[in-house]
Amino acid sequence: MADLQTYSHDAGWKNTILRGLLYLVLILFAAYYLFPLIVMVATSLKSLDEIREGSLISLPRVVTFDAWNYAWNEACIGVECTGIKIYFWNSVKMAVPAVLISTFLGAINGYALTKWRFKGANIVFALLLFGCFIPFQVVLLPMSQVLGKIGLASSTPGLVLVHVVYGLCFTTLFFRNYYVSIPDELVKAATIDGAGFFTIFWRIILPISTPIIVVSVIWQFTQIWNDFLFGASFASGANAPMTVALNNIVNTTTGVKQYNVDMAAALLTGLPTLLVYVLAGKYFVRGLTAGSVKG
Amino acid sequence: MASLTLDKVRKAFGPVEVLKEINLAIEDGEFLVLVGPSGCGKSTLLNLIAGLESSTDGEIRIGDRIINDVHPKDRNIAMVFQSYALYPNMTVRKNITFGLEIRGVSNEERDKAVADVAKLLQIEPLLDRKPSQLSGGQRQRVAMGRALVRDPDIFLFDEPLSNLDAKLRVDMRTEIKKLHQRLGSTIVYVTHDQIEAMTLASRIAVMKDGILQQFDTPQNIYERPNNMFVAGFIGSPSMNFMDATLIEENGQLAVTIARPGSPITLPLFETPESYKGYVGKEVVFGIRPEGLTHKRTGSEAAGSQYVNFDSKVEVIEPTGADTMTVIEIAGKEIVARVRPDRAPTPGESMTFSADMSQISLFDPDTELRI
């Protein structure tokens, strides 16, 4: 009995230490990742004078949203001092249609590739899959020529087209892999019931695709919103997306370096993707786990 | 309702021939069961009838109409799938009426049709639930409801009971049979379960390797199997096969089975013409377990074709109603069906009666019935 007690006492003590170490490591990691964000948020809330006097990591003495206001409404991008807001709307006008169109086309592709298997479906899928591995840089030149020829150069619709074409590979892959696990008998039953290709798609397949639609939207929105290379290459000046505008604000060399404005602009640029994760992340996880319990 | 005819139907996937010249014809109101082991082509055949796949060759007719090139929705068929294939996003009511809605049937007619079918299948309380909220048996009923509501010419069932547990399967089997008797509809039913085939069918088509082995009534298939495959596939426990020789003794034909010690000689009472050519040759002697029983008493045996022989008992397997007794004859395990109160103990020797009216002889090379 005594032995046993000693043993359990010992184990409890060991456990506490291990637990403590574990938490220490986790806290260190969390701090490591949180630190840049804290610095950014803190700096964006300081006045320029305070930044000049104080240290990098100190919290703001006086919280002011002037920098945010300035970045949104007045910051100079190049020679135009219109703030980042018009570029924010450029990004919205680019990302929303591009995400919706590429997700929708991916869904139809995946549906056709799995449920209406035609001759050569595997080859088509393999080629689409191949598209996932083509680096952005490779397509820049031919893409700009195509955009020029069809009259969409330096425009938001041109960017939408580029992102739809580029995202199609990924969305098709998502939907195809999701639809593979949906029994073919569902489509057969609907066929006998008299429904055609699109009726089955709208009435039966799409309503049960919510989880994968969420996955596709999150992925595509993050990719397209955060893209810099296509934005910088195919849309210049007033049509540039927010990421490009941010770069231009930060790299403007005239005058005093306004760190607080830079930080506020960067945070504004990052907010939409964060928002998508916060809003859809719940459905994302729910979607991934739905159906795992046998019904 | 209508008759169904398959005329020289072939199906090949590339170089692989999965169906080789299938000829079948059933009358209006018949219950055809396609039965066979996995990969025999029975589901493919059903898909051809449904129009979900197209035949490589041959003609499929419903009534007088050739339907080879008719779209599934225009064939006036309904199908019940193995996985039920209920639309997961729709309520039971929507599931049942989806086909009607697509066909542009009016709201009132749909409501009435759903009410009738729900009453017939006793699923009225389930109409507003989603498929995920139903048990296996309930889903099965809904799947049948979806087929019934359309009032088609032909019902197609693709292994509808194989996802249910044993007890429920037997209950649903009876219900399907009742439904068929009540509606008198033409049904084509695919299964790999020979008991389902025997109990449900008005005619059975036994298939193997894409070839139709036998197409006949259940009783004929059971009593007069065309070949050794059909004989072994239908019936449980399956038919016993023994290597034997057909001989002629004092003007009477008999089979003799060689074994260490004395051979067993069993005289044949019914001798079709076809037996004549096999005198003195090797044959395969087939007898079902119920054809081999404990020794019959004089009154039991009167007027029948019982022949007695002795054998040592290896194993007994009581089933309650009968005791399956395994004996060994010439290196082969043979199952006899013995009344429990007459059951022997393993290791002892016992006299068995073979009912010679229930035997089959097969050619050892072609495996065909002689």
The residue ranges of every structural domain in chain B are: 4-233, 240-362
Residue A229: CB partners within 8 Å, gap ≥ 6?
A136, A137, A140
CB contact under 8 A, B87 and A204: yes
Q: Which residues of B touch A (CB under 8 A)?
A: 50-52, 72-73, 77-79, 81-83, 85, 87-89, 98-99, 102-103, 132, 146
Q: Give the pLDDT band (50/70/90) at residue A25.
A: very high
Mean pLDDT (chain A) is 86
**Separation between Cα atoms, residue B313 and residue A54, nearest integer Å:** 101
Q: How many residues does chain B have?
A: 370
pLDDT of residue A288: 56
Q: Which two tokens stand for residue A66?
A: 């002037």
A198: pLDDT strictly greater than 90: yes
Question: In the CATH scheme, what is the homologous superfamily, with its name and number, of domain B240-362?
Answer: Nucleic acid-binding proteins (2.40.50.140)
β-bridge mates for residue B241, sequence order: B286
Q: Give the pLDDT band (50/70/90) at residue A291.
A: very low
CB contact under 8 A, B102 and A188: no
pLDDT of residue B267: 86
pLDDT tens digit sequence for B233-256? 998 889 999 999 998 887 788 888
Among residues B233, B228, B261, B253, which one has the least CA distance to residue B243? B228
One DSSP character per residue, B188-226 reads EEEES-HHHHHHH-SEEEEEETTEEEEEE-HHHHHHS-S
Among residues B200, B233, B191, B195, which one has the least CA distance to residue B214? B233
CB contact under 8 A, A183 and B77: no
DSSP three-state, residue B130 = coil
Q: How many residues does chain A have?
A: 295
pLDDT tens digit sequence for B167-220? 888 988 998 999 899 888 899 999 999 999 999 999 999 999 999 999 999 999
Find chain B residues with C-beta within 8 A of A210's C-beta. Answer: none
More confident residue, B47 or A153: B47
Lowest mean pLDDT among A257-271, B92-106, B270-284, B291-305: B291-305
Q: Mean of the pLDDT values across residues B124-135?
A: 90
Compare CB distances from A192 to B77, B82, B89 and report the shortest one's residue: B77
Distance from CA of B103 to the nearest CA of A (A): 7
Domain A85-289 falls under CATH 1.10.3720.10: yes
Q: Give the pLDDT band (50/70/90) at residue A293.
A: very low
Distance of CA A150 to the CA centre of its chain: 28
**Residue with the two structure tokens 């195919």:** A234
pLDDT of residue A181: 87
A292: pLDDT strictly greater than 50: no
Rg over alpha carbons for chain B, rounded to the nearest Å, is 25
What is the third-level CATH fold of B4-233? Rossmann fold (3.40.50)
Distance from CA of A130 to the nearest CA of B (A): 28
Long-range CB contact pairs, A290-295, < 8 A, 24+: A290/A211, A295/B132
A95 burial via Cβ count (<10 Å: 0-12, 13-18, 19+): buried
pLDDT tens digit sequence for B34-50? 999 988 889 999 999 99
CB contact under 8 A, B98 and A191: no
